[in-house]
Structure 1
Amino acid sequence: MASPDTDSKPALRRVLRASLPDALSQLAQSIEIRQVLHDWLSHRAERVISAFSAIPGEPQLLPLLSELKDRRWVLPRIEGDSLHFHFVDHTQTELETGPFGITEPSAIAPLCPTDGVQIFLCPGLGFTPCGKRLGRGKGFYDRSLAQSDSESIRVGVCFREQVHPHLLVDPHDMPMHFLATPDGVKECR
């Protein structure tokens, strides 16, 4: 990975996209990540969890909704420059295609205030073991996480290839508390 001091974020994002695993590996790692998260979440007291609908290059988490029915699941919906979190049930029947081709809750799904989410499962292009996260560049997650409850837990969810020793991030980029990969959920240090 090139030095963060010499690379711009757009160039870094291109490098990170190019280093993603192939589709078959993404599918296999998604299954492993879901099992790791299932086991980890099963031992946690938090009940309101935000997942995400995967786009290419992100782990697929939606089967967790039907596997952990004792949790209250929310998914983000893009509205303008913001993410709004809406409750969804395990059947996922209230989902539709949003502005960037991302599956999201319909506007009539019950709203969950951002500070009501206890655990955020967050996608990203890259993460560091100490919790730095580089997103896709629109800042949706960073703005939402900045409004979350101070006790909420942020979990970066990624493929093995998305963990890097160094990333170029800005002060407003919200750090993760944990990283979830096929190898487990590890606290960021």
Structure 2
Amino acid sequence: MHELDPAFQAPIADWADVRRWRKAERERLIAARLAVSADERAAMSARIAKGLDAVIGDIDGRMVSLYWPFRGEPDLRPCMDEINARGGRTALPLVIEKGQPLVFRAYKHGDKLVKGVWNIPIPETGDPVFPDIVISPVVGIDPNRYRLGYGGGFYDRTLAAMPFKPMVIAVGYELQRIPTIYPQAHDIPMDHLVTEAS
């Protein structure tokens, strides 16, 4: 079938096969993302920021978790200052332990950062917070908004453990759209997707 339709993907039912496929797909998509010039990624990030503003709407009094960009992810750090200036609050996710949910800590420009897991900057201090809106970068995403991440399951575990359901917005580039991630029972779809084209 793949010779007639290049987009065709044979169904994969076995979790071991899905894991192998996801690993290879992650590598392919990250390489494609990193192949885009830094200037073009910056321009796409600016368009994503505008799209996010439209999806989020009124930010006053709401806590928004963003992220520190890693391996060519959209850079939305300028959004933090704008959210705080418009009456919102911002937070960053922290990996505390492998196999455990993320913890969110309040953060605004000027707060002290230290190196966390994978040398990603995290707030040095602060109490955990529960964001109203979680902005999640993707490695890949399918038409049903199932997110392919780095494979640690942190966002799925975190969303499942939160005391209330936040609005979850996936962000990525158009080149990261894929036909399926072969979603499993533990995968949680995102509420919205924002790319440089949407």
Taking structure 1 as the reference length, what is the TM-score of the superposition? 0.84
Contact 2:59 2:83 in 1 (8 A): no
Question: Given the alignment, which residue of 91, 103, 107 partners 1:74?
Answer: 91
Query: 1 or 2, which has the higher helix percentage?
Result: 2
- What is the one-letter code of the residue matched to 1:110? D
Which of the pair has more CA radius of gyration?
2
Residue 93 (structure 1) aligns with: 111
- What is the one-letter code of the residue matched to 1:104? I
Q: Indicate yes or no: 2:127 matched with 1:110.
A: yes
After superposition, the Cα gap between the structure-2 partners of 1:46 and 1:118, relative to the gap in structure 1 and judged at 3 Å, is farther
Give structure 1 stretches of 5+ with no counterpart. Answer: 185-189
Residue 190 (structure 2) aligns with: 176
Task: Report Cα offsets for 1:31-80 as digits up to 9, x if no partner.
Answer: 11112213433435670111111102211111111012111111111111
**Secondary structure in 2 matching 1:74:** strand
Question: Given the alignment, which residue of 51, 55, 58 partners 1:36?
Answer: 51
Figure out how many residues of one structure are paired with residues of the other and give that number.
179
- The CA distance in 2 between the partners of 1:46 and 1:8, in whole Å, is 41
Structural mapping, 1:4-83, within 5 Å: 5=11, 8-20=21-33, 22=36, 23-43=38-58, 47-69=62-84, 70-81=87-98, 82=100, 83=102
- The CA distance in 1 between the partners of 2:25 and 2:11, in whole Å, is 11
**Secondary structure in 2 matching 1:183:** coil
- Percent sequence identity is 28
- The CA distance in 2 between the partners of 1:76 and 1:67, in whole Å, is 19
Question: Given the alignment, which residue of 156, 159, 168 partners 1:145?
Answer: 159
Residue 170 (structure 2) aligns with: 156
After superposition, the Cα gap between the structure-2 partners of 1:56 and 1:92, relative to the gap in structure 1 and judged at 3 Å, is farther
Query: 1 or 2, which has the higher strand percentage?
Result: 1
